[in-house]
Chains A and B, each alone.
Chain A
Amino acid sequence: AAGVIQSPRHLIKEKRETATLKCYPIPRHDTVYWYQQGPGQDPQFLISFYEKMQSDKGSIPDRFSAQQFSDYHSELNMSSLELGDSALYFCASTIIGLAGGGELFFGEGSRLTVL
């Protein structure tokens, strides 16, 4: 079965550079979430999209932006990178409109290291 696909899996950037992470949700899933997970921490919600529209916003820095495209894939753009942005970034998808509530599925994550 198709899963949530994230790319790249690993990314190394310098401070003040820009990075873009991509997420391809499970086919027919209508909602995408982005999470940031620092070492030893639980996933922190950044932003979500429902049917290509931003649906909720969490602790996403102003330096970050995201969008969901017509084919439902999503991109997280991070600018002016800081050392503290080093983390695992997860994308997850679900079907919000599913009767009874949909199961949330995660990708393998993109590990960003800022030097």
Chain B
Amino acid sequence: KQEVTQIPAALSVPEGENLVLNCSFTDSAIYNLQWFRQDPGKGLTSLLLIQSSQREQTSGRLNASLDKSSGRSTLYIAASQPGDSATYLCAARDNYGQNFVFGPGTRLSVLP
């Protein structure tokens, strides 16, 4: 059974810092991996989708990488801003079905 973990659970940084969020999954047979952002009481907003055949995806200040062999994905946020404060979740879609398994999220606070 696929398990997804995220480190750190919470992170507080001053504005302008570059930071890395980590996502680990136990079963490397994934179809794709997706990163989401969630603001309190709101829905999940898709940030980046990485297919199993890809190594990384970029969108603006965000860059996500995928290393299936080690069961890891990282989300890199450049020049962080207070508006980046949110919870970031990763989700792995397994090869065997259609289900997405979520990590517990990293709660990010960017201080002005």
Contact = CB atoms under 8 A, between A and B. Distances in A.
Interface of A: 31, 33, 41-43, 45, 48, 50, 55-56, 58, 88, 90, 92, 96, 100-101, 103-109, 111
B64 interface: no
B93 A106 contact: no
B50 to A, nearest CB: 10
B105 A109 contact: no
Nearest to B53: A100
A55 B97 contact: yes
Contact of A100 (B46, B51, B99): B51
Contacts of A105: 46
A104 B100 contact: yes
Contacts of B89: 42-43
B46 A103 contact: yes
Nearest to A108: B43
Contact of B44 (A43, A58, A101): A43
Main secondary structure of the interface of B (DSSP, over half): strand
B104 A109 contact: no
Contact of B43 (A100, A101, A109): A109
A31 to B, nearest CB: 6
Among A58, A92, A101, the one with the most B-chain Cβ atoms within 10 Å of its Cβ is: A101
A104 B98 contact: no
Interface in B56-93: 89, 91, 93
A45 B98 CA distance: 12
Contacts of A101: 31-32, 49, 51-52, 93
A48 B46 contact: no
A109 B98 contact: no
A90 B104 CA distance: 16
